Each structure stands twice: as structure tokens, then as C-alpha cells.
Structure 1
Amino acid sequence: MSFEIKLSLFEGPFDLLLFFIERDELDIHDIPIFQITNEFMDYIRQLEQLNIEVASDFILTAATLMRIKAKMLLPRTEKDEQGNEIDPRQELVQHLLEYKKYKTATPILSEMEDMRLAQENRGNIHEELQQIANANHFEYELQDLSLYKLMRVFDKVMTRFEEEQNRPKHTIIQYPYTIEDQRDYILKEIQAKSKMSFSEIISAFPDKIGMIFNFLAILDMLQLNLIGVEVGDGFNDFTITIADGDATQVTQLFVE
């Protein structure tokens, strides 16, 4: 059985994404991934503040958007068979177009359903079968029933029960990190120390997830031109500094 969530406006993550795209009149073939990701995450935070449980498909879509956002920040190295660079948004756009196609057809199917429900079913079926059963002296509900069929049904039920018991169970762990929090931490440290090495950040957050979030926060700040990077002496180490001419922008960010 699949878990479904129905909110006041949006029944699924693609419904929410299409709302953002149509509201802001965006080109679905050239989605501004940074804007869409931020709006999607803001909506999920609002649900959490209202103590509304967020369905797993919303969480999966949020993770997909963050992965695409990270890929957009990095140089594109993936290419197709013709040698063209692969857009990280391509798969998401295809899913959105398919979802939009089925969503457009939903009102038509709903109208057809209403028309079918308004029609009368063929009458007297139960009475006709009962008359045939009485004329032949047997109960028509049990005419096709046998011990073999009962055993087959019982076997299917037990098989289905065992499959449900052995089905893998997934546990979702919420890590105590966000890109916004790590970005604020790094900016405060740089403002206090003027510069900071990446190895210092690793020492402060030594776990793998912490390193990933901090690295994504650094990429995000580089994209926004809030910091600069200098190559360090150690292996795979570098120094983070405030970008030239952006000290005022960083100060205003803390005030807000």
C-alpha cells in the first residue's frame, strides 16, 4: 500500500512545482533551479512549523532538487553519445511534462466518471440469477465454490502476508544540518577571523554528512559571490575569505 498526502492545494510534489512554474510564468524547459528549490524548501518548512507530517515523496523531490542545484554549481562533465553536455534538469523536466499531461486529462476523466455514475445499472440481475438458482435447486452464490478454490485463495492470502512481512522497511533520518545554517556559520567565522581553511571546517563537523553540507554551502556562497577561495598548502585544502568588495553585503546578511 502506498502512502498518499492530500493538502489544501497540492496533492503531490509535482503539483506544487507546476504551481510555482505557472504562477511565476516560468519556462518549464528552462527551470531556474535555484528559485524553484528555495520556494519548494520554504513550503516544506511551513508544513513542519504547522506540525504537518511531510510525505516521503515530498522529501525525495526536495533531495532531488538539492542534487540538481549542486550539479548546476559544478562544471558540467556529463555528455551524451553525441558529445553534448547533459543538463541536470533534463530528467526533472521530462517528469514534469508527463505529470502535466496526465493532470490536464484528469478533468476529462472526472467528467466521464460523473456521466457514468449518473447512468442506471442494468436491473434485475440479482433477481434473475436467484430465479435460475431456485429453478435448478442450488444456491447460485456457491455454485462454483470448491475445496480446491478455497485452498488456492488461502494460499494466495498467506503468500501475500509473507511478502508484506518480508518487505524492506526504510527509515528516514533527518540530519541536523541545512545549507543555510552552515552558510551562516562559515560567514560568521570568516567575519571574525578574516579567513578560514576548509580543514578547520572539517574539524568542526567531522562527519560525512556535515562535510557534504559545508561543501554545498561553500559552492552556494561562491555562486552568490559572498566569499573567495585561495589554494592552501595541504592536500585538498583551501582557504576561504570574504569576497573583495562584498563585506557590506555579508554584514547586511547577518542583520537580516
Structure 2
Amino acid sequence: MAPEQAAGAPALPEGSADSTPDGDTILDADLQASSAAHDAAEGAIARLYGEPLLRLPNDLYIPPDALEVFLDAFEGPLDLLLYLIRKQNFNILDIPMAQVTLQYLEYVEQIRKSNLELAAEYLLMAAMLIEIKSRMLLPKRQDDLVEDVGDPRAELVRRLLEYEQIKTAAQQVGSLPQLDRDFLRPSLPVEQGLAPVWPHVDPHDLQRAWMDVLRRAKLTQHHRIGREELSVREHMSAILRTLQSNRFVEFSDLFQGQASVPVVVVHFVAMLELAKETLIEITQAEPFAPIYVRLAYSPA
């Protein structure tokens, strides 16, 4: 049996063996540490590697413009001026110069503090607005000798209207679909055919080459009276012997050593007979290119 409990001592429920004074002390310490860490995290200015940073290091240097965020919302003075007019639904043909100039100067004062170079262009427009406002405050002279210069705002209105037209046109052009931005041009690989593509040559090129050989043969001929027997078969054999030692022979080189016109004619007829019997091939790469003669290709 379990020993009797001391008088006046509260009974412990089942499963409360960890609820000892030592356990309560450990639990309170964990809660206090967690609460202190939470309070420190809320007051931290930053986190470094997950740990809260409560104060800045003494040797930390932050440049003046390190945290500067500049939004280039306007593309120039005219853009800012047009924005102020359109935002408040002012009539662009009757601009209230006092209100617009005041709002414009407030914006210029803001950008002048951060970027003086950018503010220079805006300051020029501000001077123009102040001049127009001053001219509008002057009383009109009722003098026939002084020409009426008209509304001082006319030139500014003209520039604003032209700028708005150009800006609208630029936005419309920018909204059009553009290649490589909104769509891509499709491309499909096309396999080349296995059939050979022969060059488009003209048989007249062979005729011109033959006429050139004949012309040179006439330049070296001699007037001789005699009878000469010429054999086409012999010239065919001579052509085949020449082509066996050379892979390609140019058409004009095939007639080297043929001095007289009859010999050249017979030699040409022999070449045509060999081509007719498919023993040789006459080739040309392209129009007006040199003509070559070679032995016909015979597969093994």
C-alpha cells in the first residue's frame, strides 16, 4: 500500500508527477526567456542571420543616399504640367496660372532638394510659368499704337497640346503587338531534299566555247593545199587517253596541239560522239562558268 499523506497536504492527481516545484521553476524560466526574446525581436531595427539587431554597430557607415528611392514618374516639365492640369480637370485653353504655378513650384522644390541636375529643366519651366503669371497681372493698355500680343498662355497651350498628341500617339504605338515582346515568329526546320539540284546551264555556253576554240584555230592556220585523212575513232581514243590521266580537263585545254581547223572539227566531233555514247561527261557549274570534260562515272 502507498504510505499515508501528511495531514493538510493536497492530494496530487494522477499523471502530475512532473508538476514539482523544480518543474514549475524551469517552465517559468522558459516563458520569461521566450517573452524577453519576443520583446527584443519587436524592438529590433533589423535582423542579421536571423538574430534581432537591437542597435547599430559603432563602425557602420551608411551613405546619405543609400536608402533613397526615386520614382521617375514624369518625363519632363511638360509631362508634369499636363498631369497637374488633367488631374484637376482644368480647361487646357483657360489654365488658372496661379493654382498650377503654385503646385508646380511645390513639386520642383521637392526634387531640387534631392537632385539639382534634374531640377534644372523643371526650374526653367517654373520661370516661364511665373513670367506668364506676371504678364497676366499687368493691366491692358488701351492704346492703338501698342499692338495687342494676345493671351500670354497661348504659346504654353500650344506646346501642351502638341506634347499630349505625341504622348497619346506613343502610347498607341507602344500598345501594338511587338515581335519578341508580345509574340514570337514561328520557325520550322525544313529538311533538304535528297534529290540533286542541277545548275541551270544553257547549251549555248558550249557553242560559245566551241566558237572561241575555232576562232583561235583560225589565227594559227596556214594556207596549205593537200589531202589529209582524219579518223574520228583515233581522236576519240586520244581524248580518252587524255582524260584517263586527268580527272577534269577544261574544254579549251582539250584542243591543245590541234593546229588546223579540220583537225579541230574532227576532234570536236569525236568529243560529241564520246558524250553521245556516255563515255565522257561535259559539265558546267553555273551559267558562263568554265566547261569541263571528264570520264563518265561508272558505279562499281
TM range (shorter): 0.3 to 0.5
**TM-score by structure 1 length?**
0.39
**TM-score by structure 2 length?**
0.34
- For CA contacts below 8 A with separation 6 or more, give which structure has more relative contact order: 1
Q: Which structure is larger by alpha-carbon Rg, 1 or 2? A: 2
